């Protein structure tokens, strides 16, 4: 009854399954953010992060030892995190390349100006 009432109030279909899914996804993301900012004790080793995530999800989410759901949510969060880090790294690299190209063009322009001024 609670879920139906919340669904009517919010105008969305809400179920315990949806809430558990949202919680597990957000929790996994939060643990990874904690690893990055030093809140959680795990090195940047992918296997250590995944094991920590699976253990915490299993314990707090109430999944059995044989359930694969904690592994699923850990995998999704790690993939999202890796995609975010890769995108940031690619953006930084693109910015460095663009800056180098602009410096090269500026140098070529200066060389061209000096050549033209020598003619006068």
Contact 25, 61 (CB under 8 A): no
Walk along the chain (120 residues) and give the pLDDT tens digit of each residue: 888 888 889 888 888 888 888 899 999 988 887 766 655 555 556 677 788 889 999 999 999 999 999 999 988 888 888 898 899 899 999 888 888 888 887 776 666 555 555 555
Q: Sign of the C-alpha dihedral, residues 27, 28, 29, 32?
A: positive
CA-wise closest residue to 75 among 117, 46, 34, 104: 46
- The reported pTM is 0.60
């Amino acid at each position: 009854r609670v879920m139906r009432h919340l669904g009517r109030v919010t105008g969305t279909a809400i179920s315990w399954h949806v809430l558990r899914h949202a919680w597990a996804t957000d929790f996994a993301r939060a643990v990874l953010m904690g690893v990055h900012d030093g809140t959680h004790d795990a090195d940047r080793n992918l296997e250590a992060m995944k094991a920590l995530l699976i253990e915490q999800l299993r314990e707090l989410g109430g999944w059995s030892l044989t359930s694969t759901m904690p592994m699923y949510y850990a995998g999704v969060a790690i993939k999202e995190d890796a995609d975010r880090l890769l995108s940031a790294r690619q953006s930084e690299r693109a910015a460095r390349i663009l800056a180098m190209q602009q410096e090269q063009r500026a140098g070529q322009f200066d060389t061209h100006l000096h050549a033209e001024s020598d003619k006068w």
